[in-house]
Amino acid sequence: MTKIAFITGITGQDGSYLAEFLLAKGYEVHGLVRRSSSFNRERIEHLLEFGGGMRGKIKLHYGDLSDSSSLTRLLDMIRPDEVYNLAAQSHVAVSFEVPEYTADVDALGTLRLLEAIRFLGLVEKTRFYQAATSELYGLVQETPQTEKTPFYPRSPYGVAKLYAYWITVNYRESYGLYACNGILFNHESPRRGESFVTRKITRTLARIACGLENELKLGNLDSLRDWGHAKDYVRMQWMMLQQEQADDYVIATGRQISVRDFLRAAASYLGISIEFTGEGVEEVGVVAAVEPKTDIALKPGDQIVSIDPRYFRPAEVETLLGDPEKARRELGWEPEITVEEMCAEMISEDLAEARKQAHLKVHGFLDQ
Ligand code: NDP
Ligand code: GDR
């Protein structure tokens, strides 16, 4: 029997990798998409046939996590074996600007899906995955963080996800729904949204190297994160739904590095070393050396990094480090891609794109 999956957030980073993963396993994949004024399906375009996706490998349906009626109608029609709730207003800094919307989508959106499953009598049939997050730990209470570490969220996003975490546990305990929280630490890829720090770094550095931009403006360079690759993490999302009993798992690499060191790693891929001088908002990053073999449009002394207070958050999560021992022990999961390999993959794809853009610019096909 072909298994049926319903993915919310299919147009996002994780949704696109998960859709590929499930299709390769022979699943029938349905995705929730919301209306947008311009095209935003680049990450799943290669999975769409016949233009709209309705008759392609995946079936897309309009709806929104803020709209119960669309969720109930779709779940009734699709009657999925597995629901992956990946949709969210997922940007921590933005959640300070739109806290109410973030709560509506990230917290109540999860409740709306769970209620639809219950209301439609799908509790016995449907398994539910909730995209929980290391942001639940916020102001960390112990290091490394495990499934037992107390939560202390530090943003409207973290607080909304805390509700989603507990309502998922509650539906498991109250109604016997097979429902799991994956407490995922940061995971990235060439498909990562351009405003998250890793992708912002690889994309902007690549563009600076090709003469398309002058400077990379960042916030807190000293934040420490446990960064893994999205491909490794979506595999684990599926594994969690294949067990005898539903449970919650930390998914992490068990290693952390700072934003500054991620920046250094990306620069070194380009053959550049960066020296940091000054303090606080006065700090700048200057090119210290450029390997002669590279075709990089930079020379020693060029200032390419500065601090912009706009990117500081009202409350920061300074350090996150996960302990994935339970996932390793109970599910046999291991991350396969290191942060260095991931950084190299990201900057190499961004560099290829920046070279194309620079070429178009040189030949007069681009204004900027
Ligand atoms: P993205 O921001 O790349 O994708 C978010 C997805 O949610 C997009 O498809 C977006 O659609 C969709 N979405 C947003 N709002 C709504 C809404 N109101 N109704 C329906 N769909 C909506 O996130 P990621 O792929 O990186 O993350 C996936 C999930 O995992 C998120 O819930 C995130 O909070 C969580 N998470 C992510 C981690 C990470 O490091 N990546 C770590 C831990 C948890 P559109 O394309 O239209 O904007
Ligand atoms: P995060 O990811 O907040 O951990 O949430 P992000 O990449 O946005 O920030 C990581 C750290 O880098 C610091 N930082 C900057 N961040 C951004 N975005 N832009 C900057 O210019 C910048 N400069 C420094 C931040 O302050 C922070 O400390 C991600 C999201 O995917 C969430 O949805 C997910 O739940 C968590 O990871 C786990």
Q: For 278-321, how does the pLDDT look when each residue is reduced to its tens digit (9 = 90+)?
A: 999 999 999 999 998 778 889 999 999 999 999 999 999 999 99
Q: Which of 139, 197, 199, 256 to mutate to test the pocket of ligand 2 (most atoms within 8 A of CB)?
A: 197
**Could you tell me if 165 and 181 are in contact, meaning their C-beta atoms sit under 8 angstroms apart?**
yes
Q: Is the CB of 218 under 6 A from ligand 2?
A: yes
Ligand 2 mean position, distance from CA 268 (Å): 22
**How high is the mean pLDDT of the chain?**
95
Ligand 1 mean position, distance from CA 207 (Å): 26
Q: Whose CA is nearest to atom 33 of ligand 1?
A: 90
Strand order in the sheet with 284-290: 216-218, 303-307, 284-290, 272-277
Catalytic residues: 133, 135, 157
Ligand 2 mean position, distance from CA 52 (Å): 33
Ligand 2 atom closest to 158 (CA): 35
**CA pair distance 247, 241, nearest whole angstrom:** 9
Closest CA to 239 of 145, 124, 327: 327
What confidence tens digit (pLDDT) does each residue in 20-63 have? 999 999 999 999 999 999 989 999 999 886 554 444 579 999 99
**CA pair distance 102, 137, nearest whole angstrom:** 18
Ligand 2 atom closest to 155 (CA): 3
Q: Is the CB of 87 under 6 A from ligand 2?
A: no
pLDDT for residue 295: 80
Ligand 2 mean position, distance from CA 55 (Å): 37
The tokens for 230 are: 């999205």
Q: Which of 186, 227, 342 to mutate to test the pocket of ligand 2 (most atoms within 8 A of CB)?
A: 186
Q: Is the CB of 96 under 6 A from ligand 2?
A: no
- What is the torsional sign of CA 316, 167, 84, 325? positive
Q: Which of 17, 83, 90 to mutate to test the pocket of ligand 1 (most atoms within 8 A of CB)?
A: 90
ipTM: 0.99
What confidence tens digit (pLDDT) does each residue in 169-203 have? 999 999 999 999 999 999 999 999 999 999 999 99
Ligand 1 mean position, distance from CA 12 (Å): 5
- What is the torsional sign of CA 312, 313, 314, 318? negative
Q: Whose CA is nearest to atom 29 of ligand 1?
A: 86
Q: Whose CA is nearest to atom 10 of ligand 1?
A: 9
pLDDT for residue 293: 73
The pTM of the whole model exceeds 0.90: yes
Ligand 1 mean position, distance from CA 228 (Å): 17
According to DSSP, the β-strands at 58-62 and 28-33 are: parallel
What confidence tens digit (pLDDT) does each residue in 95-118 have? 999 999 999 999 999 999 999 999
Please say if the pLDDT value at position 252 is more than 50. yes
Q: Is the CB of 197 under 6 A from ligand 2?
A: yes
Closest CA to 89 of 9, 166, 164: 9
Ligand 1 atom closest to 90 (CA): 34
